[in-house]
Structure 1
């Protein structure tokens, strides 16, 4: 089956993780993504375990399904070639700061002149009409600006720290895809292209405040910020006698069944802390502490049996290695085996969404640096003589 985005042609002038993650999802859905790389390649090529230089594990995941063309955009020939490629594409995605794009001669106006109907999407640190417009941004900085490390302190469970995931990069990449699809739908209806700015800070601020705006939602504050249940110091996997379980006892029925299962039904009927979700939230630290004491007295298997028997959501706590070997994922054929021409057999997460007509898939392995340079330049209308001159001047390159 052809992917839902089959026929969509994308210029991918992104590097590191946020932008490549967004364009990887487009490629997984069938888009033809042309990854434009500088002569030294995407920085992430050198990150993580690798069998060959420039083909690190994270790069292989975030750039699957794409074609790589090398262009030195500081050279006139490189910029002109990119404009010719963009003239035949539907979408132009970048994650350099807009002022850098302006200096390279690749502003929206420049790309629009080559292709008036193109959607020009930038993923970068801050909205361009605010005081932080020119500041660089990375995942750690944006997590800090968006108050994520402070939530650990607010819970009383730890010193401020970053979530041990490239969380801002991933969330903004996901949000970027939804915004891009909205702009493409507008173009489908009207024929109009547009510029699209997708700032990290504003995206993550909304992401955090959706849970923690609290009483400051109202023009006259009706309480403090923060969602107490999420900030409870005991909102964590419950330690058992031999491991951990993850459980969420949430609604009235689940709490009643929990106390019946542990032989203490009177707590549910007589303790006012459990009278409603509002009172439970107000006393959440005490309540989670009570559950922690119950779990600590039992083995993991006993806890799973207890809560499953009461129809309360519960699961084991996986490590990353456990996750890779998870039986549900195995049964769903979640992992995709890809035969890479230079890196050998690879296993990586597949596309989680299931389509009845246009299934997504990892259609091709991640490219070597410049693997499709010659092919892409030919498609853009450059002749053999021009292409050979660009190779000779090191404006472009291809693998040996």
Structure 2
């Protein structure tokens, strides 16, 4: 007998697009929930907007990046602007536990999807909203993407510049989206528990902006008090040499993070820089900080003698806390990633097997790997409407009138 999935009795209705909110729904699906994705008639605008994988054969042109945030879901394509479309959503919410969306407040109300409006249909529904900046305040109306609301507005981009004159580096796709998706997921799980205990519906929300600020909470714990700018330090301005990043002989980088007072002797021994232990200028943290530019140059020179992978065993022998700065292609082949099944295999009904990315949640004895690939737009329109009580004639009429869509046979 297989172990039940933790959410296999939960039904989720989602109306969202792009990556942040869909990523939360994808993890709910991984955990066993039946997730019904309501898309526009033309499909989620995220479809086919990102780089294609460099593959030939059955998967050539397949949208793997969309698949990450939409695996395991069922798709129904609905015209939300129509009375019939809004009625369909309310019908689906009658039997749902969670409604999840990333619509701004005025659009929720326009389409009859605000918490109060949906609670008239299902008084126990958990209503979850993800926005750029929150549903209160002077900029609740403002749309936001992760590069603008998460990285830009929150202070993340500015705080990560290399020194005071460093340029702002662009984040990789959906870093802020997926982090915020995890915040939304945690709120949904808490609200489900509360709805179960109280028997009443719950409204929860998060935003890209506030989640990003939380990721900087260690800095903001001080900045919220003194309101002083954060000191942005280049490699030559770091406080301690044993918490810095350095290039190796093959151009690959390594990063260290150790308290310097205890680690400094072992750090010097690993690099063959024992002479620095006798340098009177470098006998304490302040002395090393005052001469940090020279220390960094000496470490760079020492590390240039070997490629990164040859340094690893030497660092481990000296019990240094370090990590290689890997390329994404290296992480996919990393033995540690393989050991924790970070890139599980999914079976596509038509094309075969492919690898994807597992959510960062593991439950002992429970397989929470993705269960199936993402749907095509409206793939399950007829099936979902049938389950909701629509007969074939009504479904045919909705399709003929352009209120819902399904793929061509």
**One fold, TM greater than 0.5?**
yes
Residue of 170, 175, 179 corresponding to 1:162: 170
Deviation at 1:324, TM superposition (A): 1.8
Task: Sort the Cα spacing of 1:284 and 1:29 in 2 relative to 1 into closer, same or farther, 3 A.
Answer: farther
> Aligned partners of 1:93 and 1:14: how far apart in 2?
8
Q: CA-to-partner distance for each residue in 1:349-386, whole Å, 9 max, x for gaps?
A: 23443322433121122111111111111222222222
Q: CA RMSD, aligned part only?
A: 3.0
User: Does residue 1:197 correspond to 2:205, yes or no?
Assistant: yes
> Aligned partners of 2:94 and 2:289: how far apart in 1?
56
Q: CA-to-partner distance for each residue in 1:13-63, whole Å, 9 max, x for gaps?
A: 111100111111111111111111110001121223276899522111211
User: Does residue 1:299 correspond to 2:307, yes or no?
Assistant: yes
Residue of 173, 180, 192 corresponding to 1:172: 180
**1:373/1:397 contact within 8 Å kept:** yes
- TM-score, structure 1 as length reference: 0.88
Counterparts of residues 45-194 of structure 1 (less than 5 Å)? 45-47=47-49, 48-49=51-52, 56-142=63-149, 143-153=151-161, 155-156=163-164, 158-194=166-202
Which deviates more, 164-173 or 283-292?
283-292
**2:43/2:377 contact within 8 Å kept:** yes
**1:5/1:31 contact within 8 Å kept:** yes
Deviation at 1:169, TM superposition (A): 1.0
- TM-score, structure 2 as length reference: 0.86
Q: CA-to-partner distance for each residue in 1:376-397, whole Å, 9 max, x for gaps?
A: 1122222222212111112112
Deviation at 1:265, TM superposition (A): 4.9
Deviation at 1:4, TM superposition (A): 1.4
> Aligned partners of 1:126 and 1:271: how far apart in 2?
52
Q: CA-to-partner distance for each residue in 1:236-286, whole Å, 9 max, x for gaps?
A: 64212223242314124332311233455574587676746x987887666
Which runs of 5 or more residues in structure 2 are unaligned?
none
Deviation at 1:176, TM superposition (A): 0.9
Deviation at 1:294, TM superposition (A): 2.6
Deviation at 1:108, TM superposition (A): 1.4
Deviation at 1:174, TM superposition (A): 1.1
Which deviates more, 283-292 or 54-63?
283-292
Task: Sort the Cα spacing of 1:36 and 1:269 in 2 relative to 1 into closer, same or farther, 3 A.
Answer: farther
> Aligned partners of 1:166 and 1:53: how far apart in 2?
23
> Aligned partners of 1:184 and 1:202: how far apart in 2?
22
Residue of 20, 23, 27 corresponding to 1:21: 23
Residue of 327, 344, 366 corresponding to 2:374: 366
Which runs of 5 or more residues in structure 1 are unaligned?
none
Residue of 4, 7, 10 corresponding to 2:9: 7
Report the count of equivalent residues. 396
